[in-house]
Chain A
Amino acid sequence: MGFKNYCFRKSLWVFHFGGASCNNCDIEILDCLTPRHDLERFGILLVGSIRHADLLLVNGSINKHDRERLVEIYKQAPKPILVVAIGACGCTGGIFADSITFAGPVDKVIPVDAYIPGCPPKPEAIIAGIVKLVNKRR
């Protein structure tokens, strides 16, 4: 295990970037933290600043207005950082891929480590995705 992977061994702190989304993925992400799923018991915590984060969750299609901001946030992130694209819009653009303001799915803007498809993915799917990602880094 290299030093980079060693960093991801324990509590992952998460920064959530909501792109041009319909809010469904956002509430399912919050749902993961509330009592039924309660990810905070594993040390997974939503943080307010990207500079504190180990993991960047991006959901929603990225529009022309968001694009530069997502790049800027990615630049500010302490490296190494894991990037996860959530939902059909984050992975491919989904139903909004034909939109005139669409600026590409997340992986056209920043490098992505894992994709969690679904519209919206259930909290269980989000948890399974993160667990797979973390296990793969070990």
Chain B
Amino acid sequence: MSRKTLIPIGPYHPLQEEPELFKLYCDGEIVKDIQWVTGYNHRSIEKLSESKTYEQVFFLVERICGICSTSHPFAFANAVEEIAGIEITDRTKYIRSIIGELERIHSHLLWVGLAGHFLGYNTVFMWAWKYREPVLDLFEMITGNRNSYAMFRVGGVRRDIENHKIAEIRRVLGEVKSKTDLLTGAVMDDPVIHARTKGVGVLTRQDVIDYGAVGPTARASGVAIDVRKDDPYAAYPLVDWKVITSEAGDVFAKAEVRLLEMYESISIIEQCLKGLEKEKEGEINVKVTEIPEGMGNGRAEAPRGEVFHFVVSDGSNSPARHKIRAPSYVNIATFKKSCIGQTIADATITLAGVDPCYCCTERLAVVCDAHSGEKLMNAKELIERSAVRTASLNKEFNCNK
């Protein structure tokens, strides 16, 4: 009989910026099973959102995650605009896409750096984070803040990108592009990185489909899903770009997809800037008088995959129900496939490989009463309870019409 050793990673571990607990059950060096404990980061955002007005919710959903702080407002705006049937102006579309793509560049650079750090290759970490700074400076110039941009509102954006700023954006993009060349060359040709990441944490195409993985995690296994193509929004149907995929499904393929996506993002921004020059300055808002009763789905492609927001409006000035699903929530489940059978040293980079963002992912689970200690719910009871809840919601909001 083999004996398993439990190796906890976290919740406050030097490897992670965020609090999260992974339990690796190991036999010798090999990971046999993995468990994931959550809740350290829970802020009850869906509940808070119901107490805020539509204008205020943007500031709240922006703070779900600091790295994808455009994707959540993007999806929320799409959802509310679907309820109210608002058509935004072309200039707004371009501005929204520019912000979304700049965010993708900074997020992917951040990931490349952190992945290098997890491999113990701190040179890559320092490089990537150094080259990320110009993008943050650009954000500061456009929006006034380095991280939480507060650019979105229902029916438009809060600030215009004036035409005299376009030259500066082009200059920084050129700079970022040349640095990306350098970084891509360094990562793709490095024998150490090849040795550490090729064949590590492999997800097959079938695994991705089974677990419903999204974003670069899915695209690295040859599944070409991208909300920007599948359900186009903002300026993405107006510009020419392609979905990057790779076949191998290992950590190297994930890095490759992200690095190549940065070039696509740069090209999208350049085309959007051209579009922006043709539009009249200042036309960034349509007048919104009320949000009628109804339901809306909003999707947006975050750097990590699909962000999904579901909003129910009862005609008042705040959402009656707001449901959020972030990409990491489904991507993290793939650890059950990718980590098992790896050595412990490879498990860390596999965990980092999907670019997990735990602050998006938090769910609250009450399994027993903290004071009396009774009533432990099992999976069957939870499913039954969820079915009852869904039925009552359907009844309340007349979903079956």
Binding site for B on A (CB under 8 A): 16-28, 30-31, 34-36, 46-49, 60-61, 63, 65-66, 69, 73, 95-96, 98-102, 119-120, 122
Q: Contact at B66–A120, with CB atoms within 8 Å?
A: yes
Of B40-48, B174-182, B290-298, B391-399, the segment with at least 4 beta carbons within 8 Å of chain A is B40-48
Q: How many A-B residue pairs have CB under 8 A?
A: 111
Contacts of B147 in A (CB 8 A): 24, 27-28, 120
* Contact indicator B69/A24 (Cβ below 8 Å): yes
User: Is the pair A63, B130 in contact by a Cβ cutoff of 8 Å?
Assistant: no
B residues in contact with A101, CB < 8 Å: 42-44, 364
Contact between chains at A27 and B40 (CB < 8 Å): no
Q: What's the Cα separation between A137 and B38 when bound, in Å? A: 38
Contact A66/B129 with A23-B17, A23-B357 known, Cβ cut-off 8 Å: no
Q: Is B59 on the interface with A (CB-CB < 8 A)?
A: yes
Query: Are B133 and A99 in contact (CB-based, < 8 A)?
Result: no
Question: Can you list 29 A-B contacts with CB-CB less than 8 angstroms, sorted by A residue number?
Answer: A16-B17, A17-B12, A18-B17, A18-B18, A19-B19, A21-B18, A21-B359, A22-B65, A22-B359, A23-B17, A23-B18, A23-B67, A24-B63, A27-B17, A30-B17, A34-B113, A34-B126, A36-B133, A60-B41, A61-B43, A63-B43, A69-B40, A73-B12, A98-B48, A99-B47, A100-B47, A101-B43, A119-B148, A120-B146
- On whether A65 and B14 interact (CB within 8 A), knowing A19-B19, A95-B59, the answer reads no
- B interface residues, Cβ below 8 angstroms from A: 11-14, 17-19, 39-45, 47-48, 51, 59-60, 63-67, 69, 110, 113, 125-126, 129-130, 133, 146-148, 357, 359, 362, 364
- Docked pose: A57 CA to B67 CA in angstroms: 20
Q: Does the CB pair B126–A122 fall under 8 Å? A: no
What separation, in Å, do the CA atoms of A69 and B66 have in the docked complex?
A: 23
Residue in contact with B51 in the complex, picked from A28, A35, A98, CB distance below 8 Å: A98
Contact A65 B44 (CB under 8 A): no
List chain A residues, Cβ under 8 A from B67: 23-24, 27
Query: Please, which residues of chain B bring their CB within 8 A of the CB of A60?
Result: 41
A63 to B359, CA, bound (A): 13
- Of A20, A73, A98, A100, the residue contacting B41 (CB under 8 A) is A20
A22 touches which of B11, B40, B64, B113 (Cβ 8 Å): B64
Which chain A positions have C-beta within 8 A of B148? Answer: 22, 24, 119-120
Provided the pairs A23-B66, A27-B66 are in contact, do residues A69 and B11 lie with their beta carbons within 8 angstroms? yes
